[in-house]
Amino acid sequence: MGKILEIYRSSENCPIRTVLDRIGDKWSILVILILGEEETMRFNELQKSMNDISQKMLTVTLRKLESDGLVHRRIFPEIPPRVEYNLTERGISLLPHIHSLSDWATKNIDGIRRSRAKSGN
Amino acid sequence: MGKILEIYRSSENCPIRTVLDRIGDKWSILVILILGEEETMRFNELQKSMNDISQKMLTVTLRKLESDGLVHRRIFPEIPPRVEYNLTERGISLLPHIHSLSDWATKNIDGIRRSRAKSGN
DNA sequence: GATTTTAAGTTACTTTTGGTAACTCAAAGG
DNA sequence: CCTTTGAGTTACCAAAAGTAACTTAAAATC
């Protein structure tokens, strides 16, 4: 029995699940990757660059990332409002791991699509 | 504008999203990590080691992983039935990336918990 | 000076995904 | 003949994600 499995069994306090439950949602990883490329972005810029996320889901996603200390939110007291987002130190430290995942995805997507087709999607 | 963002914008065929939409669900990464440690496991062994997944969700998760060619399913024609699961080559090639993510999670969990507490969870 | 535009959200509502509990199947054991 | 066993289904209920319309206050347009 490996170390990871033992941690999992005490599932109350399992770090991996605590973290993955959050960034394992539909949009978080995407936001982190985008902010990793663009440094600083405003709300609408982010939304356009994701191109199919709703305002509500972007708000929810950013608030979660903010509360985990992965993304920083800076409000300018202007009208119309201006809010800028960027990765925190912690968010930046997560980037390479997500990049290695997305590199894997790019390399394996053809094989995966073929598998899905065989099994009737 | 980086390469990744351009790929995202053509979101129909984006490899990263196609893959993450699947393994970004609640249980897939967990199953992959466990099968990475135990080599071969039966359905009920998997369920016990996850400790709070329902039969239905384990079935659904395994079927998706199978159809992506990440997990192999071997049925023994016995009664009561016996079904053994293990990672495929492709599944094994994904393991190190998931491990690096979970190492990050372990290192950062304390800081993340502190952030969450500050923001009122 | 009334109307529209603008950025960054809310709110109320619908649809999809996840979760629970009970049921199935066919043979072996008591 | 009734229960147990492993690997699931099925029918049902709750939670998360998605949609469309609304909000807010100033500045720009008519």
Per-residue pLDDT reduced to its tens digit, B72-85: 999 999 999 999 99
Domain assignment present for residue A93? The answer is yes
Domain assignment present for residue A78? The answer is yes
Per-residue pLDDT reduced to its tens digit, A57-82: 999 999 999 999 999 999 999 999 99
Q: Residue A27 in contact with residue A50, Cβ under 8 Å?
A: yes
Number of cross-chain residue pairs from A and B with Cβ atoms under 8 Å apart? 151
Question: What angle, 0 to 180 degrees and rounded to 10, lies between the N-to-C axes of helices A43-50 and A55-67?
Answer: 110
Task: Nearest chain A residue to B104 by CA: give it.
Answer: A94
Which nucleotide is the nearest neighbour of B84, by CA and C1'? D7
CATH number at B40 reads: 1.10.10.10
Which of A8 and A64 is assigned the larger pLDDT?
A: A64
Which nucleotide is the nearest neighbour of A75, by CA and C1'? C8
- Chain centre distance of CA A78: 28
Element (H, E) at A87: strand A82-87
pLDDT at B10: 47
Which of A19 and B51 is assigned the larger pLDDT?
A: A19
- What is the extent of the structural domain holding A94? 14-118
Tell me the mean pLDDT in the region A1-12. Answer: 51
Domain assignment present for residue B64? The answer is yes
How many domains does chain B fold into? 1
A121 contacts in chain B (CB < 8 Å)? 67
Per-residue pLDDT reduced to its tens digit, B4-38: 555 444 455 678 888 888 887 888 988 999 999 99
Tell me the mean pLDDT in the region B57-68. Answer: 96
